[in-house]
Amino acid sequence: MADTLSALRSLMASHSPPLDALVVPSEDYHQSEYVSARDKRREFVSGFTGSAGLALITMKKALLWTDGRYFLQAAKELSDQWNLMRIGEDPAVDVWMADNLPKEAAIGVDPWCVSIDTAKRWEHAFAKKQQKLVQTSKNLVDEVWKNQPPPEINPVIIHPLEFSGRSIKDKLNDLRENLKQEKARGIIITALDEVAWLYNIRGSDVSYCPVVHAFAIVTSNLALLYVDKRKVSSEVLSYMEENGIEVREYGAVSSDVALLASNQLNTLSAVKGTQAEVTGNDTKEMKNELELIWADPTSCCYALYSKLDADKVLLRPSPLALAKAIKNPVELEGLKRAHVRDGAAVVQYLVWLDHQMREIYGASGYFLADVGANKKKHSETMKLTEVTASDKLEGFRASKEHFRGLSFPTISSVGPNAAIIHYAPQAETCAELDPDRIYLFDSGAQYVDGTTDITRTVHFGKPSEHEKACYTAVLKGHIALGNAHFPNGTNGNALDILARVPLWKYGLDYRHGTGHGIGSYLNVHEGKTPFN
């Protein structure tokens, strides 16, 4: 780790202009929550393995910001060369940089790995001391990461209509209607799950997320997919052509966005199928009327935004976000079926676990009134660990129809580990199950017809009075939230308090969101909730 920081500082010093600080975000070129192994740059430089966080390296300091889900984990994983900055308790990263870096400081960042919103917020904070955000032409972490994993080259998969429920043609028609209403002549789509949803494709470029590393641009008469063509089979290429979509190389998105900005982006080849039903004079009139380029400021990277005319950019949430979140009847039915199968797997697991805890540890059993706390193990040769237990759960899921893998790393946690919100057990260091301690598992799966995420907390011995009080308070919060009646338009943040009030009475709380949207065979976290 020391060598990595030293190498980065050397590159910062030789950069033109020399950099006073380097920001290393968690995100990839698509501002994804979960990223491929190659894109885990923040993890590489800091050693912190959580999904959310930001590293800042100066010539003398190394700091890591993360949210409440990861305070305990980060404190364990960071070396003494790093300072942990707790979001919500310590100054925000832009405030810290503005206050602690010198006047006219140059702060470097790879513009592909930072969103428009974030870059603009930083630039505003830097203005008071004439500090400047410097877009590096290369990612400096990549320059020092000698064993960086290679790019994922996995096939693009067609997501059939029997599971997607809506055709590409219908989705493109709706999107183009949105563009027309907002007087926009094109949109840049960068979020991986939005590209996958719009074009009814899936992939395996990111662990646990069935997405493809790809961009899309849609105008009144063009639909473009930017992807490594090595991933595109002849079948998929024909499918794209039949749906009026032209496939271009992943890296071409940069030059094409510049062409889009100057209204010079045209199709390079005849593409069969349905384009927008706009031709002749109608097209000319629309081009004259529609000047804006739509970009979602939270998911579009600063590198692409920098190629646009800032005065002609519509900075609004992507219209695909809501369209994707509101499941159609086919997706809803798939979601139900997936959860029935997944629920069966979880019940199988609980029955198996109950039996194992009785056989190996002498527990009285989860469903029996007679508790067996403090009994010695029946077996000195057999044991259950957080990892072996979670592997068994995955096995039950894998036996179900349409299973395609887990939807996130299983959180299988005993006792104090259950307090680490995104705890990731490792075979070498994980805890053994204990009938006298709480066991929590938070897990989910990807099925072709739906995505699941389920958490259960059990105890096979005699829980303490404090544990029972906490468990009951959480249950009361869930009931209050489930029974709530609220006006149309009320958002989740306004309702969140209902789940917390029973805990607040005991002076307790939890450092994460109460709930989140979920994809349809897509990302397990769907929507803009920051702390899922």
Tell me, yes or no, whether 318 and 346 share the same domain: no
CATH of the domain at 420: 3.90.230.10
Tell me, yes or no, whether 320 and 333 share the same domain: no
Mean of the per-residue pLDDT values of the chain = 91
CATH of the domain at 237: 3.40.350.10
Split into its structural domains, the chain has a count of 3
Tell me, yes or no, whether 361 and 459 share the same domain: yes
Does 170 reside within a domain?
yes
Tell me, yes or no, whether 339 and 311 share the same domain: no
Mapped onto helix, strand or coil, the DSSP state of residue 11 is helix
532 pLDDT exceeds 60?
Answer: no
Higher pLDDT: 377 or 213? It is: 213
User: Phi, psi at residue 465, to the nearest 5°?
Assistant: -60, -40
Within 8 A by CB and 6+ apart from 238, the residues are none
322-338 in b/e burial notation, b at 16+ Cβ within 10 A?
A: ebbeebeebbeebbeeb
Identify the domain boundary among 144, 167, 185.
Answer: 144
Does 516 reside within a domain?
no
62-84 in b/e burial notation, b at 16+ Cβ within 10 A?
A: bbbbbbbbbbbbbeebbeeebeb
Tell me, yes or no, whether 308 and 381 share the same domain: no
Does 499 reside within a domain?
no
**pLDDT, mean of residues 352-370:** 80
201 pLDDT exceeds 50?
Answer: yes
For residue 13, the enclosing domain spans 1-144
Identify the domain boundary among 412, 446, 463.
Answer: 463
Cα 317 to Cα 137, 335, 528: the distances in Å are 27, 25, 10
Does 449 reside within a domain?
yes
Tell me, yes or no, whether 74 and 183 share the same domain: no
Q: What is the pLDDT of residue 69?
A: 85
Tell me, yes or no, whether 365 and 296 share the same domain: no
**Joined tokens for residue 402:** 């349409």
Q: Which of 112-116, 125-129, 324-328, 417-421 has the lowest mean pLDDT?
A: 417-421
Note the pLDDT tens digit of each residue in 469-526: 999 999 999 999 999 999 998 988 899 999 999 999 999 999 888 989 999 999 999 9
Tell me, yes or no, whether 294 and 365 share the same domain: no
What ranges in 246-362 are assigned the alpha helix state H? 253-261, 280-289, 302-305, 319-325, 329-361
Does 504 reside within a domain?
no
Tell me, yes or no, whether 84 and 119 share the same domain: yes
Rounded to whole angstroms, how far apart are CA atoms 333 and 331?
Answer: 5
379 within 8 A of 357, measured Cβ to Cβ: no
Note the pLDDT tens digit of each residue in 111-144: 999 999 999 999 999 999 999 999 999 999 999 9
> Taken in order 356, 357, 359, 364, is the CA torsion positive or negative?
negative
User: Phi, psi at residue 90, to the nearest 5°?
Assistant: -100, 165
Q: What is the DSSP string of 423-482?
A: ----TTTPPBP-TTS-EEEEE-EEETTEE--EEEEE-SS---HHHHHHHHHHHHHHHHHH
Does 529 reside within a domain?
no
Does 474 reside within a domain?
no
Does 446 reside within a domain?
yes
Tell me, yes or no, whether 297 and 228 share the same domain: yes
56 within 8 A of 97, measured Cβ to Cβ: yes
Tell me, yes or no, whether 137 and 210 share the same domain: no
530 pLDDT exceeds 50?
Answer: no
**Joined tokens for residue 27:** 């995100």
Rg over alpha carbons for the chain, rounded to the nearest Å, is 25
Note the pLDDT tens digit of each residue in 164-180: 999 999 999 999 999 99
271 pLDDT exceeds 60?
Answer: no
**pLDDT, mean of residues 320-341:** 97
Tell me, yes or no, whether 132 and 19 share the same domain: yes
